[in-house]
């Protein structure tokens, strides 16, 4: 139970970090899209774990 | 901005003169101070001034009006385009006690140089034995005189390079990285802002104000994926 709570928080933090990185680093457009997708996945996982 | 040329005529002494350098087209003010032996200003004098070209011919002959606020005789004029040393002569007719007229003279000179010469002089003062090659596109902002504008872009580029101007702004325009640098240049007691724009073509695209490096991008992506994997594994393993 404790692990799930921790993972939930970690997913949110990672999701936010990915969006910040994608917006600040000079990255290839494809890599940037990948990062946005990953952050989306992180938020989806957060919602799933939170439920 | 008006430049002041001061001629001081003392009633019984040879006048003091000051010489300065001006750029063609500048507005200058000719000032003459007429004092009695006690140092009190004389307001009833009739003053004329003549400015001579470097070759000795007359450029301007004008009468001077007394300004009671500054207690000086003054006249404004435009600095001519011809470079060289100009000679000024002010002549004031003063009535001494007993209505005895006396003519006083004041003499001075000033130098008119082109912007190019001034820039060269400043560059020479700043560096020696340096070779600079600036070919970037340069935009000029500010109220530079025509003389300075004619001084060509290379000089402005040199000035920017000399000052090692830090980057003011950089942004992407499609696949081109645009770098803007703004330098301040002080010449003849006036400060100008000079903007230099550099355009760099980024072969792999431009993003967030920098050229994209494919290796860096892929490295970041893999690094993030590995990091997420490790974090999830550790949390899973130790809880």
Mean pLDDT, 10 residues at a time, chain B of 239 residues: 45 46 79 80 87 92 90 87 87 80 84 68 52 39 50 59 71 88 64 73 87 88 89 79
Chain B residue nearest residue A21, CA to CA: B220
Whether chain B has a CB inside 8 Å of the CB on A34: the answer is yes
Task: Identify the domain containing residue B83 by its residue range.
Answer: 3-112
Same structural domain, B85 and B140: no
Co-location of B103 and B129 in the same domain:
no
What percent of chain A lies above the pLDDT cut of 70?
A: 94
Which residues of chain B make contact with A38, given a CB cutoff of 8 A? 224-225, 228
Determine the pLDDT at residue B41: 82
B101 part of a folded domain: yes
ipTM of the modeled complex: 0.82
As given in the structure block, the two tokens for residue B11 are 């009633």
What pLDDT sits at residue B53?
Answer: 92
Residue B232 belongs to a domain:
no
Among candidate residues B86, B68, B14, A21, the one with its CA nearest the CA of residue B77: B86
Neighbours of B188 (CB within 10 A): 16
Nearest to B212 among A2, A6, A27 (CB): A27
Question: What average pLDDT score do residues A10-23 get?
Answer: 88
CB proximity A9 to B under 8 Å: no
Identify the DSSP state of B11: S
Last residue of a domain, one of B57, B82, B112: B112
Of A2, A23, A27, the CB nearest to B220: A27
Q: Which long-range contacts (CB under 8 A, 24 or more apart) does A10-19 make?
A: A10/B231, A10/B232, A10/B235, A11/A42, A11/A43, A11/A45, A11/A46, A11/A49, A12/A42, A12/A43, A12/A46, A14/A39, A14/A42, A14/B228, A14/B231, A15/A39, A15/A40, A15/A42, A15/A43, A15/A46, A18/A42, A18/B224
pTM for the predicted model, two decimal places: 0.44
Give the span between the Cα atoms of B74 and B62, in whole angstroms.
Answer: 10
**Parent domain of A24:** 2-50
């Amino acid at each position: 139970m404790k692990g799930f709570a921790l993972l939930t928080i970690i997913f949110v933090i990672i999701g936010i970090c990915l969006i910040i990185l994608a917006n600040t680093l000079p990255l290839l457009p494809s890599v940037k899209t990948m990062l946005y997708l990953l952050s989306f996945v992180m938020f989806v996982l957060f919602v799933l774990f939170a439920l | 901005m008006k430049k002041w040329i001061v001629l001081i005529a003392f009633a019984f002494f040879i006048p003091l003169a000051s010489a300065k350098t001006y750029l063609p087209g500048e507005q200058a003010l000719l000032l003459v101070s007429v004092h009695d032996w006690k140092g009190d200003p004389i307001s009833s004098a009739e003053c004329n001034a003549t400015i001579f070209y470097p070759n000795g011919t007359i450029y301007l002959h004008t009468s001077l009006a007394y300004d009671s606020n500054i207690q000086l005789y003054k006249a404004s004029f435009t600095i001519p385009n011809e470079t060289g040393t100009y000679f000024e002569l002010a002549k004031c007719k003063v009535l001494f006690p007993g209505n005895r007229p006396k003519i006083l003279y004041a003499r001075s000179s000033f130098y008119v140089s082109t912007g190019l010469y001034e820039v060269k002089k400043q560059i020479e003062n700043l560096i020696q034995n340096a070779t600079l090659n600036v070919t970037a596109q340069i935009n000029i902002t500010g109220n530079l005189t025509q003389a300075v504008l004619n001084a060509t872009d290379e000089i402005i580029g040199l000035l920017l390079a000399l000052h090692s101007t830090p980057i003011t702004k950089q942004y992407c325009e499609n696949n081109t990285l645009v770098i803007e640098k703004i330098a301040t240049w002080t010449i003849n007691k006036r400060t100008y802002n000079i903007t230099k724009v550099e355009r760099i073509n980024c072969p792999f695209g431009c993003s967030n104000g920098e050229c994209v490096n494919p290796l860096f991008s892929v490295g970041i992506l893999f690094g993030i994926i590995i990091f997420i994997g490790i974090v999830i594994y550790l949390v899973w393993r130790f809880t």
